[in-house]
Amino acid sequence: MAHSPRLVFVNRYFFPDQSATSRMLTDLAFRLAERGVSVAVVTSRQLYENPRAALPPYEVANGVTVYRVSTAVQGRARLVGRALDYLSFHVAAARALLKLLRRGDVVVAKTDPPLISIVVSHAARWRGAVLVNWLQDLFPEVASVLTPNLIPKRIERQLAAARDRSLRRAAMNVVLGEGMRDRVLSAGVDAARVQIVPNWSDTMSVIPQPTAASATRRRLALDGRFVIGYSGNLGRAHEFETLIGAARLLRTDARFAFLITGGGAKAEAVRNSVQSLGLDSFFFQSYQPAELLSDSLAAADAHFVSLLPALEGLIVPSKLYGILAAGRPVVFVGDPASNLAKLVREQRCGVAVAVGDSEALAAELRALRDHPGRLESMGTRARELALARFTKEHAVADWLALLDIIAPAVVRRMQPTLTQATQT
């Protein structure tokens, strides 16, 4: 019997995990399966917040066949343990792919864990599969910026060279924006093999709501205050000193409040800094379930996003898309010349401030609070931008069109649906 080509994703987390990277992959895989694509996922048995979850090794979820491999379960708390988890997933995923892949399959390496494209590119070549890299970030460059001298320079150059070979071997490299595209092109990748497909938010489940309608806001007794929210991972790629500095400048104005939702490498440091400075305007809560995300985002009048300037082109903050979908202004702190800063200014859906300029940030927050009409207009434009450019439907159409170019056999049996999708 002839083999029916299928689309195989490789990523450390997948449904039912609720991390941002898992939700993105889950959205895309389930929607492509609905459109008739044969989809499989090679993933771990872990959850982002629970490395010992021991999810079932095999299941079929919403038409997607899920293969979960056993890996080390040290978790993300310590660097050595995280590295062991990464390495064990590389080995286990390679073994699974060598068993699963057949000639004509399309295998998509999503960049969790780092450098997984190196392993997947070899498996694809040995089994005659078509390789696609879905780049959410670029390692080892990110590691070099966040932890200088963590990797000896000679080894870092070797890892980057191996990664670059995997990019050049791929039929397509999917990136998140212009800055990342430029970085990939600088690695010698043919421009025809680099495609921008932005991340997105579920604009059907995340919808604009008045702040007064937010149960989260009522639960935390934030009614009557101007709330700046932060939702998601407080990771090492993000910068919070500028926000804390602005909060110090605004501490005498009890109308301001700061709501931090999530966790991550910098979460404890932010809490400690706030406590040591005696800033009682900060409120903290853990990650919220997906079904409460819309309500949680609605609790804030505006939302904070940050990125260290040295990471421009290496990472795109995915929390941006949920903020836009929720119809809230974006308060970005980072490189004023970055793509995200330009987007915010050009679309007039928020404000952008340079890292370290707490006075400018405090002034912008005062201006947003004192001009509710401007705040509302920014929120309206944010939602319009989300609907125009950053929906699941846009991403699915982009992926279907991409697959139709590099591997038409994968989408052949649902060609009528493809035509409709690309016209959406």
Buried b or exposed e, range 106-128, using 16+ CB within 10 angstroms: bbbbbbbbbbbbbbbbbbbeebe
262 and 316 belong to one structural domain = yes
Neighbours of 157 (CB within 10 A): 12
Q: How many domains does the chain have?
A: 2
* Gap between the Cα atoms of 78 and 272, Å rounded: 19
pLDDT at 421 over 50: no
Side-by-side strand order, sheet with 256-263: 282-285, 256-263, 226-233, 302-306, 330-334, 350-354
* Gap between the Cα atoms of 200 and 316, Å rounded: 12
Q: Is residue 205 part of a domain?
A: no
Sequence-separated (6 or more) residues with CB below 8 Å from residue 340: 305, 307, 316, 317, 320, 332, 334, 352
Q: Is residue 121 part of a domain?
A: yes
Q: What is the pLDDT of residue 73?
A: 87
Q: What percent of the chain has pLDDT over 70?
A: 96
268 and 372 belong to one structural domain = yes
Q: What is the pLDDT of residue 2?
A: 59
pLDDT at 417 over 60: no
Type and span of the H or E element at 24: helix 20-34
pLDDT range class, residue 415, cuts 50, 70, 90: very low
pLDDT range class, residue 142, cuts 50, 70, 90: very high
Q: What is the pLDDT of residue 416?
A: 43
Q: What is the CATH number of the domain that holds 136?
A: 3.40.50.2000
313 and 373 belong to one structural domain = yes
Q: What is the pLDDT of residue 20?
A: 77
Residue type, 150: L
381 and 406 belong to one structural domain = no
Q: What is the pLDDT of residue 114?
A: 95
Tell me which residue of 12, 1, 4 sits closest to 38, measured CA to CA: 4
373 and 410 belong to one structural domain = no
pLDDT at 83 over 60: yes
59 and 185 belong to one structural domain = yes
Measured between alpha carbons, how far is residue 228 from residues 127, 217, 282, 329 in Å? 50, 12, 10, 10
151 touches 140 (CB < 8 A): yes
H helix intervals, 334-371: 339-347, 358-370
**Of 73-77, 115-119, 172-176, 321-325, which range is least confident?**
73-77
Q: Is residue 206 part of a domain?
A: no
Question: 282-320 pLDDT, tens per residue?
Answer: 999 998 888 899 999 999 999 999 999 999 999 999 999
pLDDT at 352 over 90: yes
H helix intervals, 236-371: 241-249, 267-276, 293-298, 319-325, 339-347, 358-370
pLDDT at 18 over 80: no
pLDDT at 1 over 70: no
Q: What is the pLDDT of residue 418?
A: 39
What SS3 class is residue 110? strand
Mean pLDDT computed over 261-287: 95
220 and 193 belong to one structural domain = no
Q: What is the pLDDT of residue 287?
A: 87
232 and 175 belong to one structural domain = no
* Gap between the Cα atoms of 417 and 1, Å rounded: 26
pLDDT at 420 over 50: no
pLDDT range class, residue 368, cuts 50, 70, 90: very high
Residue 64 — left, alpha, or beta (φ > 0 → left; ψ -120 to 50 → alpha)?
beta
Residue type, 113: P
**Of 221-225, 232-236, 271-275, which range is least confident?**
232-236
304 and 402 belong to one structural domain = no
H helix intervals, 152-266: 153-169, 178-185, 215-219, 241-249
Q: Domain containing 352: what range? A: 211-388
Q: Please provide the average confidence, as pLDDT, over all residues in the chain.
A: 93
Q: What is the pLDDT of residue 288?
A: 87
Measured in whole angstroms, the distance separating CA 368 from the mean position of its chain's CA atoms is 27
Higher pLDDT, 375 or 233: 375
Q: Is residue 295 part of a domain?
A: yes
What SS3 class is residue 371? coil
pLDDT at 387 over 80: yes
Q: What is the pLDDT of residue 422?
A: 39
Mean pLDDT computed over 415-420: 42
81 and 185 belong to one structural domain = yes
Sequence-separated (6 or more) residues with CB below 8 Å from residue 308: 145, 237, 238, 239, 334, 355
Question: 185-215 pLDDT, tens per residue?
Answer: 999 999 999 999 999 999 999 999 999 999 9
346 and 362 belong to one structural domain = yes
337 and 266 belong to one structural domain = yes
Q: Is residue 79 part of a domain?
A: yes
* Gap between the Cα atoms of 381 and 12, Å rounded: 35
Q: Is residue 380 part of a domain?
A: yes
Residue 184 — left, alpha, or beta (φ > 0 → left; ψ -120 to 50 → alpha)?
alpha
Q: What is the pLDDT of residue 22?
A: 87
Mean pLDDT computed over 74-87: 82
Mean pLDDT computed over 336-342: 95
Q: What is the pLDDT of residue 4?
A: 82
* Gap between the Cα atoms of 332 and 354, Å rounded: 8
Question: 230-246 pLDDT, tens per residue?
Answer: 999 999 999 999 999 99
Neighbour-count burial of 60, counting CB atoms closer than 10 A to its CB (0-12 exposed, 13-18 middle, 19+ buried) = exposed
Neighbours of 251 (CB within 10 A): 14
Q: Is residue 304 part of a domain?
A: yes
Question: 26-41 pLDDT, tens per residue?
Answer: 999 999 999 999 999 9
Q: What is the pLDDT of residue 338?
A: 95
Q: Is residue 138 part of a domain?
A: yes
